[in-house]
Amino acid sequence: MPPRNIHIILVAIFFAVVCFVTAKRAQRAMLVGDAIDLIDRYYVDPVESASLVEAAMAGLTSSLDQHSEFIPADMYSAFNDVIQQEFAGVGILVEQPEAGKPVRVITPLVGSPALAAGLMPADEIVSIGGEDVSKMEIRDVSNRLRGPVDTDVVIGVRREVDDKTQELEIRLTRKSIGLESVVGDHRDADNHWIFRLRKYPEIAYVRVTSFGEKTESELRQVFLEELGSGYEALILDVRGNSGGLLVSAVNICDQLIDTGRIVTIKTRGGKIDSQYDATPGTLVPKGVPVVILIDGNSASASEILAACLQDQGRATVIGTRSFGKGTVQNVLPLESGRSALKLTTARYYRPNGKNIHRIDNAPEDEEWGVSPDEGMAITMTDEAYRELVQQWQRASFPVSSQIDNEGSDAVKDAAQPEQSESESESAVENNETLPLKPPAASSKDAQGRVIDPQLNKAIEFLKRKRVEQSTPETRQAA
């Protein structure tokens, strides 16, 4: 048989196989399409096709792990806001204490049009652009507050002043609002973060709230510009940080170590997809001791950071065992980028070769997550944890004569999810939705402020480390 005929036969076989596989896939897809068509035609009540498609997509991912999900078009923009750390809006944090009641302002954000225009905590939003929103869901109100940069929006607010109700209309021009992911201990009078503990300024304190596209550059700026070299110890706080971008965690690890493995990524079948190693040079001097604080809500990228620094001997881990999320998700666009499928595609392994992922119903005595170093496990009561979250939130609010961070009931209640739903008008959500799993002994001080036993343990450890490093002769003689 001539070679040409053999080639034609092979090509024909190839296309036949492709057509067969495509037909099988199409047949399965047609099953879903036929079901949607039958529901659309015969179900007792009319149902929007888009809702059926979303329900079908949610059903497809429900049999996978908890971190795989369909992101519909109306949520995809907000999802990207979190990763990109930026949204277009007026810059307010809002809450809805009671369904069917007006959404109210918790606080305007630092540098926002809302702060400049005089929006106040506890202002109730009753209209947007002339439309009554007093009974709308918080997400619908948030979506109406968002819009293109440099566009105007008129917000009608109801304000209580000296037991009298005022109705105001405030015109705002939307702008690009940055979402900070690296914060300090407190703000100064100019609303700049101070990355040192108030009582112990020789100790640098940096809290990473998420791992987004700008987190690495934010942290680099803190180390190079805000802190310089005038600090003796460093506390990295990733408590409550549910993760974010893998590359962000890897690059931050590289800022802190100059040699050794950071993380290994393995795909289906245990095949190594990529390995990340540190490069020479660090932004934190080698002689500066480092503590990293973790808890049961520290997950994913937070665990990559903690595990790397622990395994490489660069940091002491204090707190409680982390969440145990050792999988990697890819966001795969659908509908030409209008929606997406977030799909678990790989697992990551810490430098010591272990995967920290916690399977469903894993017993406490199994090895998963990142555990504190020996003698460094410090628990907190649920009440103390909630108080700590509120304390963090109040610290983020702008310092202004108009904003009473301590006195506003709206501010005090803002961090209590069991009582109210709260979000910024960007409709921002964390990249991962994790259960609130506070670790259980703590109390308040004489002024009623929450005592943070995990932070106190870190301070105690670093002060002791400082003494040990400053008296080598004493250590040798002992």
pLDDT in tens, 254-288: 999 999 999 999 999 999 999 999 999 999 999 99
pLDDT-derived band at 473, boundaries 50, 70, 90: low
pLDDT of the residue at 423: 52
Q: How many CB atoms lie within 10 A of CB 411?
A: 22
Rounded to an integer, the average pLDDT of 306-318 is 98
For residue 307, the surrounding DSSP H or E stretch is: helix 301-311
More reliable by pLDDT, 426 or 223: 223
pLDDT-derived band at 80, boundaries 50, 70, 90: confident
Long-range contacts of 157-166 (CB under 8 A, 24+ apart): 157/105, 157/119, 157/123, 157/124, 157/125, 157/126, 158/102, 158/123, 158/124, 158/126, 159/120, 159/122, 159/123, 159/124, 160/122
Residue 271, classified by CB atoms within 10 Å of its CB into exposed (0-12), middle (13-18) or buried (19+), is exposed
CB 104, CB 122: distance < 8 Å: yes
Per the annotation, the verdict on 164 as an active-site residue is no
Phi, psi torsion values for 358, nearest 5 degrees = -100, 120
CB 227, CB 219: distance < 8 Å: no
**Whole-angstrom distance, CA of residue 343 vs CA of residue 122:** 40
pLDDT of the residue at 271: 93
With 70 as the cut, is the pLDDT of residue 112 above it? yes
**Whole-angstrom distance, CA of residue 422 vs CA of residue 413:** 10
Q: Where are the alpha helices (DSSP H) in 146-277?
A: 215-221, 246-256
pLDDT of the residue at 141: 92
Q: What angle do CA 299, 297, 225 make, to 5 degrees?
A: 70
Phi, psi torsion values for 95, nearest 5 degrees = -145, 160
Per the annotation, the verdict on 190 as an active-site residue is no
Tokens of 403: 């904003």
Output the CATH code of domain 82-178.
2.30.42.10
**Whole-angstrom distance, CA of residue 1 vs CA of residue 3:** 6
Half-sphere exposure of 272 (CA within 13 A, CB side): 7
With 80 as the cut, is the pLDDT of residue 415 above it? no
CB 58, CB 75: distance < 8 Å: no
**Whole-angstrom distance, CA of residue 71 vs CA of residue 301:** 21
Tokens of 477: 């003689």
CB 54, CB 76: distance < 8 Å: no
pLDDT-derived band at 162, boundaries 50, 70, 90: confident
Picking from 160, 301, 177, the residue whose alpha carbon sits closest to that of residue 243 is: 301
The one catalytic residue among 68, 142, 185, 325: 325
Q: Express as a percent the part of the chain with pLDDT over 70.
A: 81
pLDDT of the residue at 304: 97
Residue 105, classified by CB atoms within 10 Å of its CB into exposed (0-12), middle (13-18) or buried (19+), is buried
Strand positions, DSSP E, 335-431? 339-349, 421-424
pLDDT-derived band at 82, boundaries 50, 70, 90: confident
**Whole-angstrom distance, CA of residue 63 vs CA of residue 191:** 46
**Whole-angstrom distance, CA of residue 294 vs CA of residue 419:** 26
**Whole-angstrom distance, CA of residue 249 vs CA of residue 161:** 46
The one catalytic residue among 81, 185, 254, 311: 311
What does pTM read for this prediction?
0.79
Per the annotation, the verdict on 311 as an active-site residue is yes
At 475 the three-state DSSP class reads: helix
Q: Which of these CATH numbers, 3.30.750.200, 3.30.300.130, 3.40.50.2300, 3.90.226.10, describes 182-464?
A: 3.90.226.10
pLDDT single digits (tens) 360-386: 888 888 889 999 999 999 999 888 898
CA of 429: how far to CAs of 26, 59, 77, 370, 397, in Å? 35, 22, 11, 24, 18
Rounded to an integer, the average pLDDT of 408-419 is 36
pLDDT of the residue at 394: 84
315-319 and 290-294: which strand pairing? parallel
**Whole-angstrom distance, CA of residue 71 vs CA of residue 340:** 5
The one catalytic residue among 300, 302, 322, 408: 300
Q: What angle do CA 206, 209, 211 make, to 5 degrees?
A: 105
For the chain, which residues make up each domain, given as ranges? 3-47, 82-178, 182-464
Q: Which amino acid is at 104?
A: R
pLDDT of the residue at 62: 85
With 60 as the cut, is the pLDDT of residue 167 above it? yes
pLDDT of the residue at 464: 92
pLDDT-derived band at 58, boundaries 50, 70, 90: confident
Picking from 155, 235, 157, 248, the residue whose alpha carbon sits closest to that of residue 197 is: 235
